Structure 1
Amino acid sequence: MNDNSIIHYPRLDTVIMVENKIKSEEEWESKRQLWLSLDKKIMYQTFNIIISYLQDSGKIVIKNGKIIWIWNPELVKRYSNSSLVLK
Structure 2
Amino acid sequence: MQGSAIIHYPNLNTVLMIENALKESDALLNREQLKKRLPTKVMHQTLNVALRYLEDSGKILDGRKGILWIHNPSPKLDKAIREGIEL
> Could you tell me the TM-score, scaled by structure 2's length?
0.79
CA–CA separation in structure 2 for the residues paired with 1:5 and 1:63: 23
Counterpart of 1:70? 70
Greater percentage in strand = 1
RMSD value, Cα = 2.3
In the comparison of the two structures, how many residue pairs are matched?
84
Q: What is the percentage of aligned positions where both structures have the same residue? A: 40
The 5 Å alignment of 1:25-40 reads 25-40=25-40
Structure 1 residues 47 and 86, CA gap change in structure 2 (3 angstroms): farther
Structure 2 unaligned blocks of 5 or more: none
Structure 1 unaligned blocks of 5 or more: none
Asked if 2 retains the 8 angstrom alpha-carbon contact of 1:31 and 1:65, the reply is no
> Could you tell me the TM-score, scaled by structure 1's length?
0.79
